Structure 1
Amino acid sequence: MSETKDNSLPPFATGAINLASARLGAKGIYATDEFFAPLDRMLADAPASFDPDLYDDNGKYMDGWESRRKRVPGHDFAIVRLAMPGRIFGFDVDTSYFTGNYPPHCSIEAAFIEDGDPTDATVVWTEILDKSALGPSAHHFFDNPDKGKVWTHLRLHIYPDGGIARLRVYGSAHFDWSKVGADEEIDLAYIFHGAKSLAWSDAHYGHPDKMLGPGRGLNMGDGWETKRRRGPGHDWAVIRLGHPGTIGRIIVDTAFFKGNFPDTCELLGAYLPDLGDSPSEADIAASESWRPILPRAKLQMDYIHEYGAGAIADVGPVTHVRYAMHPDGGTMRLRLYGRKA
């Protein structure tokens, strides 16, 4: 375990997504107690915040999950449904701003449930983090040694009570590609299908992974947006597809981006099954010469742009793409429909 006052990430978070992201659909489904602060706050995507003057009917407003002081034997726990089934690489149990009210210890169990939520005592819970010490107002990073199993739910125990600002569960989405037919069209760049942004030029207003998320987006903050470029060049993101495949249809959605959409976009691709999740500077430089799939295309504000046969090149199977915005701006969603290779 490592403890840090900032949010610098450990190696297990490299190339990972937060399976406990509320934005992606994670949900707190049960807590023994949430008197001071509800469970769902613990899953918020934004970093925890603190307002010294903010109170509610039950006392000090805290940005996280907080139970009352326990006056009977036992301890508090909460059950979280992950945003998607996934393999877990590690955790961040964040006690930011909980200084005199943090739990001294926590542990975590996991379960895999094919459909629905745990409802009875027959659910098998497996401890994947044993009872571990926590400190005040800090990020606590814990590695998960068994990164191969797939889980859908977590049970977070706190001993005996107190508050957790954020729970981050770093891992990868699990999707059963064996159930996808050879001729079935599927979004190869969907985050629930295992796609992931590996490198990018800028993410000032929004991470490029947001482009790969569900739906059309909630607002301008739910897409990838870069800061205003004041010099030469353009912004780009390198994305690992959920499965090698051939791309036959592309959607670039600029929903909500009206005065800040890119002027043009383009898509390049390559078949690099051994590239890994941490491309080097040389790998990133080489991506500028990947094969063009979608040549520079003009974009409009707040619009779904669809490109199919005749607009995109058939370059064969690809494992990675480089999506570029010229010169900068925001893209709400990127959909790369194709067939698995």
Structure 2
Amino acid sequence: MAFNMLNIIFSFSVFSILGWFLEVSYRSLRERRFLNPGLLKGPYLILYGTGSLVLMGCISLFNFYDAGFAAKVLVYFTTTTGLELISGFIGYGLFNIRLWDYSDQPFQYKGHICLKFSVYWVLLAFGFEYLILPSYQSIFDPISPAFKMLFSEGLILIMAIDFAGKSLKNFISPNTPKEKIITETEFMNAARPLLENPALKALSQLNHHRGKTRLEHVKEVAYLSFLWGRRLSLDCNAIVRAGLLHDLFYYDWLHGGPRLHGFKHPNIALKNARKVTCLSKKEEDIIKKHMWPLTIIPPVYMESLIVSLIDTFCSTRDYISFRKYERSGKSIALLDNLESGEKKDEKQYR
């Protein structure tokens, strides 16, 4: 297989997927349950894709210099262990996630590498050189460049979106247990007065998106918007309050309600919200503009833009998800656990 950019990217894509299957098989059999071993959500492991390219480069050098067995062992040991160490540092340092933990193994370093698995990687590298790579070349060499390009570009795009989503989630999420407690406490201090109000509790009886109630939707929007607002040093109190009130209407928009619901319900929600609590100009703008650009007039405040974007994200995710919404979703489960206080009687507001 010629070493050109197309074949390099294609090989990276293929071995990222094959590596994912290898890791899933090993970890799932060991734990006797399915485990996704990667940092990202998709069926690919960047470590294996990168490792395959490094090994292919090493093999080319071995063939050119006619390297002996001892030299190969040393190079394979160094490169594979180095890649594992770098990947471990990236996962833990940037995303606060341990992709693996060798702390209980002898001859380990900070849980990222250990002698036992370094030996395994050397054996796998030899298997790659003499078994996997020849088979890969015989199977994939005849494939047309057009297919390779289409496959590679599609997978790289998916990986990039997946990585961007993971990075953004890591950006807004609390990084330590202490910060998590502080964040949750701040949110509930702002949200509790409204969450205990019967006008908002009544939303739990209304279906909103694919089995998700309207109350669950507004809580999710409020919480995710709050996380963004906190990172960006915005008015989090206004974000939480307006986020909870942005869909405060009591008709089933899926089967009834006013025509042009998307255009009209922000004003209906604002009218109902004014009956529940006193609103600041910023909170009113957030509620009224949460459907922008359908509302035409753009948001005045950054807080309004954040809630609008998060609302769009949550709604889109609800409908493109392969699975219907589950009540055990992380955001809603977290909020349900945080809420306290006795239940009050609810009534329908119209």
Same fold (TM over 0.5): no
The structure showing larger relative contact order (alpha-carbon pairs under 8 Å, at least 6 residues apart) is 1
The structure with the largest strand share of the pair is 1
Greater gyration radius: 2
Query: Taking structure 1 as the reference length, what is the TM-score of the superposition?
Result: 0.25
The structure with the largest helix share of the pair is 2
Query: Taking structure 2 as the reference length, what is the TM-score of the superposition?
Result: 0.25
